[in-house]
Structure formats: C-alpha cells, structure tokens
A and B are shown apart, each in its own frame.
Chain A
Amino acid sequence: MSVNSRHNLGWLLLLLLILVFLFVLGSPEALEKLGEERFFSTALGIFGLLLILLFFLKLVSQPSAPPKQRILTVLRCERCDVTSVREFKRGDYIPKREGKCPSCEGEMYIEAIYPEELGKKKKPLPF
C-alpha cells in the first residue's frame, strides 16, 4: 500500500512540474520571452534543480514496512476431505482436534497454520 502511494507521490510531483512548465509556456508573455535564450536556460535550470531535489527525496525516503498479514488456521475432517478456514487463535497448534465435521460427524483437526497470501505472484526469473 504505502510503497505504491510513495511511488505515486513521486510521479504526481513530476506531473505537477510539467504542468507548471506548460502553464508558463502557455502565457503569451512567456512565449515571447522564450525566444530569449537566457529565460529558457534559467527555466531549464530550475526544472533540473527540482528534478534533482525529487530524486534526492526519493533516495532519502525510508523503505516502508511490509503490509500486515492475517494468519489463517485450516481445519480438515479426519474422514472426508471437508476443510474450513478461520483466523488463527492463540492456543491453536497442529494437529489439535477441534469440533465435528459439518457433513459427516467426523472429528476436525488443524492441518495447517499459515499467513494469508496477498495475491501478486512473483515473476519467474528470466535466467
């Protein structure tokens, strides 16, 4: 989440800079002045400085913490293959017996406890 928002902030700033630049270009006096070399190079210089500032801010900004993950507990029936998933509770362990199967009255046991997977599969390496 916060990785993306920080990323977007950088692009937003860049976009803003370009907009300001275009706005200056848009005014008639500015267009007239643009013919003068000095104005153009000054504007380019300021643009460059802001760009450097932007990259510096990006460099200095802290890497954000990973997103919070829920821990899931998977229950499985001993007799049939019915499984159910719920959130982890303190005191859960593998293979703790807990409750009856809703379909066949068999006993349920905890088969696995793992962090919820948050989409995004890693790209396979090209080498």
Chain B
Amino acid sequence: MPFLQHLAGEGGNLWSLVFQLFFIAFIIAYFLYGQRIQIAIWNRDIERNLRRLKFLRDRARETAIKAVKEIGKPEEDPVPSIDRFLETFFIQPVDMDPAGIVWKLDRLLDVRDLSMKDAVRRIAPKASDTELNNLENLLEAALDLNLIYRIVRHYYLMGKRTNAYIITAQLHMMLPLIMDIAYAYDGAVKAFAEGQPIGDGAGPLLACKLLAGKKVEKIEKDMVFGETELEGRHVIVLKAEGPGGNVGKPGEAIEKLIDTYGYRPAIIVMVDAAQKFEGEDTGDVADGVGAAIGGIGTEKYRIEEVAHKHKIPLYAVIIKESLREAIAPMKKEIYEGVDKAIETVKKIIREKTREGDLVLIAGIGNTIGIAQ
C-alpha cells in the first residue's frame, strides 16, 4: 500500500495512520455535530438525575405507606388513596385584579388544609391528632417530591421530543438546584415519619422555652398561647400547637388576641428561621423590623394589617439556616441559635419597652416534635 504508506508519512506504520484518521474524524464530527453531542451528554446527565428523582419519590411513597399502615392501622388497603393524595394539586386564584386576593387565597388554603386533613384521617383512621399532623406533613413532602419528578420528566421529554435545545439546556443548568431541593425533601420525609423537630421549628422552640412550666391555652386553629414574665415585662407567647407537624395560623391568632381578647401589646416580636446567604453560619441570629414569617403571604398580610390598625411596632428576630436545614432534622447549631435568639429578644424588649408593658412574642414555624 504505497499510497497509505505515503499518507502515514516517512517510516509511518498502520497504527499512527489509524490514530491520525481517528483524530481527524473526531475533529470533523465535533465540528459538525458538536452541539448534538453536547445535548446528548446533557440528556444523559438529566436521565441519571431523573432516575435518582424517581428513586427518591418512590422511597418517600414507600415510607408514607409504611407509616400509614403502622400508625393509622387502616382496615382497607391505603395504597390507592395515598396515590390519589400524591397527585392532588392547588390552583392559585387569578391575580389580574388583585384587590381582595388575600382573603380568596386564605379561604382556598383553608379548604385545602381541611380536605388534606380529612383525606389523611380517612387513610389513617387510628392515628392520634399529633400523628395525623405528622402523617400529613409526610404525605405533603412525598407529594412535593412527586411533583418535582413529574416536572423534570416533563421538560426532559419535551426537550427531547421537540428538539428544543434551549429547554434541555435550561433544565440541565437548573438541575443542581432542583436536586438540592429534592434531597432536602428527602431528608424531611424521614424527619416527618419519625416526628423529629426540623430546622424550621426554631421559632416554636424559642416559644416552648419561654413557656416552660407555664399554662397554655388554645386559640384559633392549631395555635396556642401562654403568659409569662420576661425582664419585668408581661409577655404573651404564641406558637403552633405541637408536637404534631403544624405551622398553624399565627396571623389569625395575633388578630384574635388583639381584636377579640383585647390585648394591647406595646410591641410584637416575631421569631422565625430565615434563609441564610451562602457562606453565613447556621444558627447565627439577626434582628430587624417587620413581620418575620414565610409562606404564601396571607398570614403576613393579616399581621401587618392588625399591627397597622393598632399602630403596634413589629420587630423580627431571625435564626439563619439554609433551605435544606429548614426541613431536615434540627441541627445542634440551631439549638444554640435559639438560645442566642432568646438573648436578642430580651435585648429588644429592654430597649423598646418600659417595665410593666405588655409584649407579644410569636414563634413562627413548623412545630413538629416540639410541644409546649
């Protein structure tokens, strides 16, 4: 083969010829199909994560089924009802004309909450109220994992079917963040199944510590309050009713304390776990002004309304943690953060009120594993 011999160069052998051909073919292929190769690699990456998401979802479902069977002792097979629960959805009210939307949303959320509780009670008839709340939290976490899985699969298949590279590219770039959230929910599933306190419980834990040994009274749906003394001031402490998984309705409770019970606090201090920035330490405490409460916004609206109506200043103390830490079992640093937050609350009370004043302290968050 003189020609090939020539191609391979002086003294060249077949091997170096093969290598060269391979190299040239690679360059041409990359030049022509580089983008497709890139997309194929991304798709493979998405597929791998999808399998992971499916695994997490199935595991959450299995955990839920096991917990329901163990705790709820249903007479009939709960699996079809659980599967139906995992597909339920919520439709936001229209916001083209936003006046009055808060009350609509509030009402819808109430209905959703009631129907979910109802569904869980039917699935697990023998569960106590505490266990019922925990099971509901658990099923909601499984529902969220199911939703994440379905959404990622939807965009993956859509990108593949329509060859819309931008969808695949966006999905691939968002994937690390999505997986982070999915792993967070995966951590939450176990905490909810066992009834362990989660990071979001920092606010209720502070309330629990302030109320140690005091009598508490039920107010509003899933909320309790008690009275105590702090730094010579009379203090009302509010939290969701534990130890079942609950966030309660702190907005309605504060409204009722002020409007119906006639309390006139000099200040309201809200304590909540808040999302830290990357690089900040978990359990750090900061304070500021405003209503420290997350969620969809209806409770925040109520609190701001009532504070505005009666001209009560709102102060906020936050305990910093990541989203992942907020729904995972509460870390030691957060317990230390709660002790620091108590000191901060005391300082605010000393600075902003006089002795003998009335102060309202609200511990906001999910009170799973924390009673009163």
Q: Which residues of A contact B (CB under 8 A)?
A: 38, 42, 45, 62, 71, 88, 90-96, 112-115, 117, 125
CB–CB A71/B331 < 8 A: no
User: Whole-angstrom distance between the alpha carbons of A91 and B195 in the complex?
Assistant: 7
Knowing A45-B19, A88-B196, A125-B279 touch, does A94 contact B243 (C-beta < 8 A)?
Answer: yes
Collect the chain B residues with CB atoms within 8 Å of residue A71's CB.
194, 196, 329
Please state if A95 and B330 are interface contacts (CB–CB under 8 Å). no
Contacting residues, chain A, for B19 (C-beta < 8 A)? 45
A42-B15, A88-B196, A90-B195 given as contacts; is B332 within 8 A of A95 (CB)? no
16 more contacts with CB within 8 A, not counting A92-B369, A114-B335, are A38-B13, A42-B16, A71-B196, A90-B195, A91-B195, A92-B195, A93-B243, A93-B370, A94-B205, A95-B208, A113-B196, A113-B329, A113-B330, A114-B331, A114-B332, A115-B328
- Given A112-B335, A115-B331, A117-B332, also A94-B197 (CB < 8 A): yes
**Contact residue range for chain B?**
20 to 34
Q: Which 3 A-B pairs have the closest CB atoms?
A: A93-B243, A94-B370, A114-B332
Question: Contacts of B332 on A, CB cut-off 8 Å?
Answer: 112, 114, 117
B218 within 8 A of A: no
CB pair A62 B48 closer than 8 Å: yes
Could you show 20 A-B contacts with beta carbons less than 8 Å apart?
A: A38-B11, A38-B16, A42-B15, A62-B52, A71-B194, A71-B196, A90-B194, A90-B195, A91-B195, A92-B196, A92-B369, A93-B369, A94-B197, A94-B243, A94-B369, A114-B330, A114-B334, A114-B335, A115-B328, A115-B331
Q: How far is the CA of A96 from the CA of B195 in the complex (A)?
A: 13
Q: What is the bound-complex CA distance between A92 and B243, given in angstroms? A: 9
Measured CA separation A88–B194 after assembly (Å): 9
